[in-house]
Amino acid sequence: MLHIIHFKCLTYQGYGRGHSRNLLQVKHAFELIRVIFELLLASKDDTFMVLAAAAYGMVFAAHHEQPIKNAALEAMYDLPTRSQLLQMANEDGESAILTSSSPAKDWAQTGEEGSCWLG
């Protein structure tokens, strides 16, 4: 990934956007989802908006201009609470944590070790 950024492979001289840039955005989206679920598992807070805002700050904030940051944070006011999110997923808090924590931790560890394709 650093090679792509260093040699400016993200620019595309034709119509539209380059495939490398699209892949980088997909990588950031997966990273955002990973961070949200890590924070969700680590926190007992019912306010999902706070977790999503923290994850956005860790993953996307450095790559966005201020108007986009403002729009993203404004949109987070419409997010459901943690209990509403689990209810939509037909899970209660205990079963969601028990069934998701092991695969999520395994995936996060493989990403950190560099064996994951996203690393």
Read off the pLDDT band of 115 (50, 70, 90): very low
Confidence of residue 56 (pLDDT cuts 50, 70, 90): very high
Each residue's pLDDT tens digit, 32-47:
999 988 888 888 878 8
Least confident of 48-52, 59-63, 91-95: 91-95
Tens-place pLDDT, residues 88-99: 877 665 555 545
**Does the pLDDT of residue 101 top 60, yes or no?**
no
Q: pLDDT higher for 60 or 7?
A: 60
Distance CA 41, CA 38 (A): 5
Q: Can you name the CATH fold of 29-113?
A: Glycolipid transfer protein, GLTP (1.10.3520)
Residue 26: how many CA atoms within 13 Å on its side-chain side?
A: 8
Residue 108: pLDDT band with limits 50, 70, 90: low
For 25, how many CA atoms within 13 A lie in the half-sphere containing its CB? 8
Closest CA to 79 of 59, 54, 50: 50
Contact 73, 53 (CB under 8 A): yes
Give the integer Cα–Cα distance in Å for 62 and 32: 13
Distance of CA 105 to the CA centre of its chain: 15
Domain segments of the chain as ranges: 29-113
Provide the pLDDT for residue 114.
Answer: 42
